[in-house]
Structure 1
Amino acid sequence: MSDCNGLDRRRVLAGAAAGAVALMALGTTAAAQESVTWRVQSHWPKASASFDDSLQVLADQLKERTEGRFTLELFGAGEFAKGPEIYNLVRRGVVEMGTTSPSYLQDEAQTYAFAMGIPGSLREEWEMMHYIKNMGVEDLLNQELNPAGVIYFSEKVYPTELVVKQPITSAQDFESLKLRSAGTMMDYLSAVGAAPQMVEGSELYQALSSGVVDGAHWGAAQGAQSMSLWEVAKYHLTPALGITVDAYIVNKDAYEALPDDLRTTFTNLVNERFFLRSTEYQLMEQLALAEGQESQGVEVIELPQDVLDRFTEASQQIIEQESQRGELAQQAADRLRELMTQLGYL
């Protein structure tokens, strides 16, 4: 009798265990099938090349890879907030994600300038990719932003080049220019005597066409083309003022609340897209500039040597100035100088 009771108990326990496993499996399956929609406030106007070629592509591929379970609802510049306001919008969770420039993070992180790219320091896109990812500058920035509830992902590396309404033949020509700029690039342009000022992307064409500014940078050739800047500023200046970075910022709580599989897919895709988009951008720059020259009469002007000499001096001053912002900034500066030495730039 006792043996039978023992057998019955074992069967009951086994059945209960099997039921528990089934319930756990059901719970796991339900969690795995959870769908998520994030709102994304971009600093790019919808007219900007990066809105479609960076953000829309990310949204399309994320939806495809998750079989429609993870979707991004995209908003162009100013629909919820403009560039400098997006960080706080994301931090507070008003939207789960945003696009931004590190120049908008200058009040939030001492390393922002190094994540953006110090003007005149690195000369090729691959150098900046190596600096940001392999030398850990993105990690330094996240050490500052994560405790505030924001996760930073580099989106792409690209050149920054000016378009102006009049030809530049000397440093003296620069001294009369009002130029749209941002971040440490404003210090860089000031060193040559220009008068830089901040203008939002959504207001840039109007500012340039009305004479509020005489020139601007919005990326380089693709930015000028997609934002119609060449219509009113046909002189495109080379070489690049610097190599810089665009970024995605994500609300940390929203990121950690994602089901594991969606979080992994999102993270892998963003990191993968950084390298793909950065290299694609280089090709598209060449094509855009050639098209501008052929169809819009864009004239490419090489910056005069006296301007370049001033820029070189200003670049070193900016590195030193930014390194004084704190311990993490000093680490970023040391790594930049190390790379510049390896490349023969110092």
Structure 2
Amino acid sequence: MERRDFLKAASVGVIGSASAATLAAPAIAQSAPKVSWRLTSSFPKSLDTIFGGAEVLAKAVSDATDGAFQIQVFAAGELVPGLQAADAVTNGTLEMAHTCSYYYVGKDPAFCWGTAAPFGLNGRMLNAWFYHGGGNELLNEFYAKYNFIGLPGGNTGTQMGGWFRKEIKTVADLNGLKMRIGGIGGRVLAKLGAVPQQIAGGDIYPALEKGTIDGAEWVGPYDDEKLGFYKVAPHYYYPGWWEGGAALHFFINKAKWAELPKAYQAILTSAAAHANVDMQAKYDAKNPAALKRLVQAGAQLHPFPGEVMDASLKASIELYAEISKENEPFKKLHDAVMAFRNDEYLWWQVAELGYDAFMIRARGR
């Protein structure tokens, strides 16, 4: 090829490439549209681990889309009260919420299975059920009635049993006891004579301080220390049998979800999974030091007495049977969770429990 012909061909190639780039730009832009959503949390900003789960998700989504998909996170009370987060998603006021499913058991007790139920699954088992045991599908079948879908968005691990002004030595000590507790754990305690109260996290301390309630459960050492419960109720009990592993969810309005490009749906799903793992890792990392500080500050650790645990299990089984008779969605989720739990503990007792029990004994040597 002569030099003149080569330059001519090269020029055509450059022009063609430039034209292709010009034509491709709108397609690229269309594949990453600007999207701006608002998310309300059920938690105050002071609880950086549990509130922070929504911030972790928002950052991951923004990073993965070069800032095209922005999710603005609002603390409880900034847009809607903490315990009305799901309502704002149902009615389309907001695109998303970061909350606990069991906060809404007043609407339907079946909501408990998205977070935790007495003597249910621990945190790892919940994730196994969500992702590989059909849990997400069953829950979203239920959530569809409320116009949203749910993506697992964090877990606290097994929670503590709460803070009390006086010791709990027998089942009789629960009679008349006014206790802040979420989910349907309160209905179990009511069977044993307690008076359950559902109070948002930021309102628990004043209620304890004023004596409006006699006890309260929240999460565990790291968050409980921040809220200062040990100053007004020194008796710290374990385990929180009503929350063997408490999951959080990102609730997303169904119509808004459907409007997202498939790529954004995939990114949001991955970001939620990242936030889900990150939260429990943070709690596992932060709780040990916080527990030491609480004990040094005067917190008195107590295991729930065996008779209280046994009575609570019996009351839980009775409650599940009662609700299942009149609520098919509850029964469907209950049966799935309990079947999964029973198989999981076949495995747990072989390896997990054996290893942990040995290492705990070895630690004390």
Please say if residues 165 and 232 of structure 1, whose CA atoms lie closer than 8 Å, have aligned partners that are also in contact. Answer: yes
Other-structure match for 2:100: 101
Aligned length in residues: 326
Residue-by-residue CA offset, 1:17-44 (whole Å, 9 max, x unaligned): x9x9878733321223422221111110
- Residues 258, 121 of structure 1: alpha-carbon distance in 2 compared, 3 angstrom cutoff: closer
Other-structure match for 2:288: 286
- 1:215 aligned onto 2:215: yes
Taking the TM superposition and a 5 Å limit, the aligned residue runs for 1:41-190 are 41-106=40-105, 111-122=110-121, 124-146=122-144, 148-158=146-156, 159-161=158-160, 162-190=162-190
- Residues 148, 103 of structure 1: alpha-carbon distance in 2 compared, 3 angstrom cutoff: closer
Please say if residues 109 and 184 of structure 2, whose CA atoms lie closer than 8 Å, have aligned partners that are also in contact. Answer: no
- 1:329 aligned onto 2:330: yes
Note the C-alpha offset of 1:128.
2.5
In structure 2, the residue corresponding to 1:152 is in which secondary structure? strand
Moved more, 131-140 or 90-99: 131-140
Distance in 1, matches of 2:210 and 2:202, equals: 14
In structure 2, the residue corresponding to 1:246 is in which secondary structure? strand
Please say if residues 102 and 113 of structure 2, whose CA atoms lie closer than 8 Å, have aligned partners that are also in contact. Answer: no
- 1:249 maps to which of 248, 251, 255: 251
Distance in 1, matches of 2:34 and 2:290, equals: 38
Amino acid corresponding to residue 86 of structure 1 in structure 2: A
Moved more, 242-251 or 333-342: 333-342
Amino acid corresponding to residue 128 of structure 1 in structure 2: L
Task: Could you list the structure 1 runs, at least 4 aligned residues long, displaced by more than 4 angstroms after superposition.
Answer: 20-24, 107-110
Note the C-alpha offset of 1:300.
1.0
- 1:258 aligned onto 2:271: no
Distance in 2, matches of 1:58 and 1:131, equals: 22
Note the C-alpha offset of 1:309.
1.3
Distance in 2, matches of 1:45 and 1:336, equals: 30
Note the C-alpha offset of 1:107.
5.2
Distance in 2, matches of 1:130 and 1:275, equals: 12
- 1:204 aligned onto 2:193: no
Distance in 1, matches of 2:170 and 2:248, equals: 31
Other-structure match for 2:33: 34
Distance in 2, matches of 1:339 and 1:183, equals: 20
Please say if residues 39 and 97 of structure 1, whose CA atoms lie closer than 8 Å, have aligned partners that are also in contact. Answer: yes
- 1:338 aligned onto 2:336: no
The normalised TM-score by structure 2 is 0.80
Please say if residues 106 and 112 of structure 1, whose CA atoms lie closer than 8 Å, have aligned partners that are also in contact. Answer: yes
Amino acid corresponding to residue 298 of structure 1 in structure 2: A
Please say if residues 89 and 96 of structure 2, whose CA atoms lie closer than 8 Å, have aligned partners that are also in contact. Answer: yes
Instruction: State the superposition RMSD in angstroms.
Output: 2.6
In structure 1, the residue corresponding to 2:212 is in which secondary structure? coil
The normalised TM-score by structure 1 is 0.84
Distance in 1, matches of 2:340 and 2:32, equals: 45
Taking the TM superposition and a 5 Å limit, the aligned residue runs for 1:295-334 are 296-334=297-335
Structure 2 unaligned regions, length at least 5: 1-16, 349-365
Residue-by-residue CA offset, 1:181-206 (whole Å, 9 max, x unaligned): 12211112223321111212232111
Please say if residues 121 and 315 of structure 1, whose CA atoms lie closer than 8 Å, have aligned partners that are also in contact. Answer: no
Amino acid corresponding to residue 199 of structure 1 in structure 2: I
Other-structure match for 2:230: 230
**Among the aligned pairs, what percent are the same residue?**
22
Please say if residues 77 and 201 of structure 1, whose CA atoms lie closer than 8 Å, have aligned partners that are also in contact. Answer: no
In structure 2, the residue corresponding to 1:316 is in which secondary structure? helix
Amino acid corresponding to residue 132 of structure 2 in structure 1: N
